[in-house]
């Protein structure tokens, strides 16, 4: 008879199961960029820089109907204990593409035909949840750059450890120590006004009822993240207004 999985009874850092790590966000951290922001959750930090709209080259890639959004995600070599080899890899390319999809759901570049808006996401410090932190930083950096957006997006990872759903896994919880199978990780991106799912990925195993519960947990948590994002944008607007 197979051994039934146990409940995950207590988080390593003492958080409640629906509690995120301490969150901070700051806008305008790179003065030379058109838009920039940082987003930190616990030991994970993401920095996003926006450049554009600017004319897209080569010319044959231009779209006369709209501008295009390009997203590049990368982890800095010393963002984790084991040094990362510089340059793109399969993981960074995959995260770049899914981040682009999520942000494209709210960005409107129809007023900027034949142009490109580049978003560069860098992770200087990683303790799990880097893709959602990067999307959170990129969303407010785009808003800071004045890029037209239908609404904001907020992102969070929901995990399943043993039989327990938790939000914002750290590296310890994301490791393979639970019954030798590891945890289930579900990055979710939610739009701010319509509450639609802009991105949902699943790494691991989960039942349909559990997935529905995880999505509701993500929506609730993204409300908290949205408040932090909007606060950072308002503080930046006030600061930049005083300088004028």
205 within domain boundaries: yes
Torsion sign (Cα): 133, 190, 234, 73 = positive
Contact 153, 67 (CB under 8 A): no
11 within domain boundaries: no
Region 4-16 average pLDDT? 74
Write down the mean pLDDT value for the chain.
89
Share of the chain above pLDDT 90, in %: 72
Q: Is residue 230's pLDDT more than 80?
A: yes
13 within domain boundaries: no
pLDDT at 88: 67
67 within domain boundaries: yes
The pTM score is: 0.90
Residue 214 CA to residue 195 CA, distance in Å, equals 15
103 within domain boundaries: yes
- Each residue's pLDDT tens digit, 111-132: 999 999 999 999 999 999 999 9
> Any idea what the CATH number is for the domain that residue 113 is in?
3.30.230.70
84 within domain boundaries: yes
- Each residue's pLDDT tens digit, 48-60: 999 999 999 999 9
63 within domain boundaries: yes
Q: How many structural domains compose the chain? A: 1
185 within domain boundaries: yes
Structural domain harbouring 190:
23-243
State residue 243 phi and psi, 5-degree precision.
Answer: -75, -20
């Amino acid at each position: 008879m197979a051994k039934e999985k146990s409940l995950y009874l207590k988080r390593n850092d003492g958080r409640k199961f629906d509690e995120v790590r301490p969150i901070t966000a700051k806008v305008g951290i790179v003065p030379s960029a058109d838009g920039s922001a940082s987003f930190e959750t616990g030991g994970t930090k993401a920095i996003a820089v926006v450049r554009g709209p600017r004319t897209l080259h080569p010319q044959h890639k231009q779209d006369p109907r709209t501008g295009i959004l390009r997203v590049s995600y990368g982890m800095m070599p010393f963002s984790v204990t084991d040094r990362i080899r510089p340059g793109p890899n399969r993981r960074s390319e995959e995260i770049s593409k899914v981040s682009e999809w999520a942000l494209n759901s709210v960005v409107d570049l129809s007023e900027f035909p034949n142009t490109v808006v580049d978003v560069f996401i860098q992770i200087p410090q990683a303790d799990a949840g880097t893709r959602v932190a990067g999307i959170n930083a990129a969303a407010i950096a785009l808003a800071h750059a004045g890029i037209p957006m239908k609404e904001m997006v907020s992102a969070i990872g929901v995990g399943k450890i043993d039989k327990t759903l938790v939000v914002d896994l750290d590296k310890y919880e994301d490791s393979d120590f639970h019954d030798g199978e590891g945890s289930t990780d579900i990055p979710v991106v939610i739009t701010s006004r319509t509450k639609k799912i802009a991105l949902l990925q699943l790494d691991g195993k989960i039942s349909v009822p559990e997935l529905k519960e995880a999505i509701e947990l993500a929506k609730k948590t993204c409300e908290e993240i949205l408040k932090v994002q909007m606060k950072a944008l308002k503080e930046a607007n006030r600061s930049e207004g005083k300088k004028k």
